[in-house]
Amino acid sequence: MKFFIDTADVQEIRDLASTGLVDGVTTNPTLIAKSGRKILDVIAEICDMIPGPISAEVAATDFETMLAEGRKLAALRSNVAVKVPLTPGGLKVCKALSDDGVKVNVTLCFSANQAILAAKAGASFISPFVGRLDDIGQDGMELIGDIVAIYNEYPAFKTEVLAASIRHPIHVTDAARLGAHVVTMPPAVLRQMYQHPLTDKGLAAFMADWAKTGQSIL
C-alpha cells in the first residue's frame, strides 16, 4: 500500500518525507487556501521534495477552463497528478489529459458507479471519500471494498483506488485489508499510526533496565 499525505504544508511534508514512508501528496483548494501561498509555487515545491505523484486540483468547474488549468498544472513538473471533480466535465478533462499521458486523480467519489466511470475515462486514481460517507451514516469502507472488487474483475482498468477523507488509523487498516492501493491521510493520522501504549511501556522498561547496568554503547 502507498501512503500519500493530504496537506499543502511544506514543512509537514518535509518532516514526514524524512521517514521514507511518504509515496505522494494530495492537495485541494481548501488545503492550498490554508497554506496562504500561491498554488503554482506550493505544488512546484512539493514536487521537488517528493518524487511520487503530487495531486494538484483544478479550481474551475467548466470543461474548457478545467482543461486549461489541468494542462498548466501538469506542465509544472512531471510528477503532477491533475485532480478533477467527478462531474461530466471533470471526466471529459480526465479523458483528454490521460490520453496525453498525464496522471489524473478523480476526486469526490461517493459511489461505485462513479468509480466505474472514472476508470473508463482513464483515471490514474479514484478518490472515494470514506470519512464524509461515515459522517452521513453510511459505511465509507464498504464503498472501498466495492470499488476494489469491481476493478479486480476488469484487468483493463488501471485506476488505483485511493482511499481519501481518512479520519483515524483504523481507516488505514481497514483500507489496507480491503485492498486499496493508496491511502491519503492528514499528517496527524500518520503520526498516530506509530502509537501504542504497550510500545511506550516496553520502551520505558528497557530504558530503566539499561540504566541499571551503568553502561554506554558510545
Give the ranges where the chain is alpha helix by DSSP (H).
10-17, 29-35, 39-49, 63-74, 88-99, 112-120, 130-135, 140-152, 169-178, 187-192, 197-213
Task: Tell me which DSSP letter residue 67 carries.
Answer: H
Helix 63-74 and helix 88-99, axial crossing angle in degrees, nearest 10: 40
C-alpha cell at 32: 492550498
* Dihedral, 78, 117, 30, 68 alpha carbons, nearest 10: 50
Catalytic residues: 83
CB of 75 within 8 A of CB of 82? Answer: no
